[in-house]
Structures are given as structure tokens and as C-alpha cells.
Amino acid sequence: MKKIAITMGDPAGIGPEIIAMLYRDHATAMQGTVIYGDTLVMRRACELVGVDHSAMPVMQAGEPFDANSLPSYGCVSGAAGLAAAKAVEAAAHAALRGEVCAIVTAPLHKEALALAGIPYPGHTEMLQALCGNPPVRMMLANDELRTVLVSIHVPLREALDSLSMYGIVETIQITHDFLVRTGIPHPRIAVAGLNPHAGEGGLFGREELDIISPAIEAAKRLGIGASGPFAPDTIFMRARKTVAQDEFDAVIAMYHDQGLIPVKYLGLDAGVNVTLGLPIIRTSPDHGTAFDIAGTKKADPRGLLYALQKAREFTSLSYREFHEAA
């Protein structure tokens, strides 16, 4: 059985220590994993939480730190951003070569990446480039809700100005394909509106009439079970996997915060970020680097554990079925 890669995240954040916590507290779950990052960073994390670092397999990525160059906890630096990016790059190449079957990524820090000269604001865009620039989308999911974003890490004004029928149809198609390949044969996909009350028939904006509704109709012609546009303030509740709701398998959100806020409100410890459209499987916990508590042993590793569990679930499909399905 192929291993699952876990990238260390920003060395100054909580990524290394929550990885070490899982080796300490969930050794069985961590079997078959390999860490991509810096050996000294991971050794420091092991010593912090009280676990034998020799039990943790680490693949050195990039130039190694020494005792004098090790990034301090909670401090933004280009050196830390570069080390985090090199870990992602090494893990992605290993996945593309078939050496690992999935990647679970600990959090990056966007400012640190920028200071390092990395031209990508996050994992999604970085992995997209490393994989040859296929169209990708970000899905945030927990046991109750799945949301997929039409636009990701761009300013809100840019997200609104770039909204297009093509982009929405592509998002719906990528979402449909992923859900089918991961065990939902006939996905029910809800599409959120952009404006209050989904535009109220054009009273509060015409995007629903001119862009979103035509995109939904185009997706239907492709045989996809898409519907909407629905009022954004209620559709996420209707898609929750509860006794009273569970009307949809995923919700398409028009921009970053519209889709992330509902999932994060339900709990950061049980949320997972999944990149759809890649030729490799990638999951990540739905939280950031938490510089304010890095190095204090207060971090909660459950989000990373959940991301690992979801990666295993997705890779339970055959390699051909997931990666090469038409």
C-alpha cells in the first residue's frame, strides 16, 4: 500500500507540532504516512510535545535549517515560507510519480510565501501549477456540509467582476465529477446566488438572471443534477446532513467567504479542504497557521487527523477510477 504524504506547513506555525501530536496520540492512524519538510523543524516539534522523533519518517525538502537559522515560533519570515513551499513541491512531485497516493497539507502562511517570492497565495494555486495548471476548485467539507468555490484567493471586487457563466459551469462540472468518483452516483448540487435573496428577480442585481441561471441550465444539459440559484442566506442550511435537511450533496458558492463561513461556523476541528480537479488527491485541515499559539502545545490536531482520514477515504477508490475516469 502506498504511503500518504503530510507536508509540515509553515515551520513557525502549528503545523509541525500538530503532526507530532498525532504521532504521539494517534500512532495507529499515522501508520503509512511520511512527512515532507525539514528534519530539524520536525525534531523540534517532537521534542516540544514529547514524542520520539526517530519514529517519524521525514523526507528533507529544500535546504535544511541549522540551529542558528531555525524560524522562531509565531514569526513571519521568508525563510519559513520558502521551506513550507519546498515541502509542498516535493510531496506533489512524489504524488505525480506515484510514490505516495495522497497529500495532506498542514497550513501555510500567505505573507510568508510572499516574502519568499512564491508567486502563489496558497496550496490550491501552488498545486495547480505543479500539476500542469488543470482547472481546479476548492471544496470545504465536514460531516454536515460541502461547499465548492467558484473563485478562491482573489479580492472580492475581482471575484465579482470575473464571475462568468463558463466559470460557474466548470465549477459545477468539477464538483459533479469529484462526487461521482467518491461514491455519490447522482450528486444533488445546489448553486447559491450572489445577491441578497438571489437577486429577487433582478431587483437586487442581475447576475442571477444573466449569468448564474444560464450556467445552471447549461449544467443540466450536461446531465448534471444542478439547481438554483438559491438565496445565499438559507441554502447552506438546507444542504446540511441533518435529519430535517440534507437536500443537497454540495453547494456551489460564488466567492471565497460565502462558502467558507458556513463550514467554519460548524467547527474548525472537523473541517477539511479538498482540491478538486487535480490528478492527485490533496486534503488539508480547515484552519490556519495559528501563529499566536504556535509552540505553546495548545493547538488542536483533530483537524489534521480528519484531513488524513478523508484522504484515506478518497484513496480507497482504485487509482485508475479516481485519476483516470473519463
Band (pLDDT 50/70/90 cuts) for residue 269 is low
Band (pLDDT 50/70/90 cuts) for residue 320 is very low
- What are the strands of the beta sheet with 226-230, ordered from one edge? 58-60, 33-37, 3-7, 100-105, 282-285, 272-276, 137-141, 146-149, 250-253, 189-192, 226-230
Q: Which residue, 315, 269, 287, is CA-closest to 9?
A: 287
Q: Tell me the average pLDDT across 65-80.
A: 95
For residue 63, the surrounding DSSP H or E stretch is none
Q: Where are the domains of the chain?
A: 1-135+269-326, 143-266
Residue with grid cell 521551506, as numbered in its chain: 83
Q: Tell me the average pLDDT across 226-237.
A: 93
Specify the pTM.
Answer: 0.85
Tell me, what's the pLDDT at 243?
55
Helix (H, G, I), strand (E, B) or coil at 141: strand
CATH of 143-266, one of 2.30.40.10, 3.40.718.10, 3.40.50.720, 2.40.50.140: 3.40.718.10
Band (pLDDT 50/70/90 cuts) for residue 264 is confident
Tell me, what's the pLDDT at 159?
86
Q: Tell me the average pLDDT across 245-260.
A: 89
Do 1-135+269-326 and 143-266 agree at the fold level? yes
pLDDT (tens digit, 9 = 90+) per residue, 134-188? Answer: 999 999 988 889 999 999 878 888 888 889 999 999 999 999 999 998 888 899 9
Q: Which residue, 307, 301, 312, is CA-closest to 26?
A: 301
CATH of 1-135+269-326, one of 3.40.50.2300, 3.40.710.10, 3.40.718.10, 3.40.50.2000: 3.40.718.10
- Residue 165 C-alpha from the chain's centroid: 24
Phi, psi of 271 (to 5 degrees): -105, 150
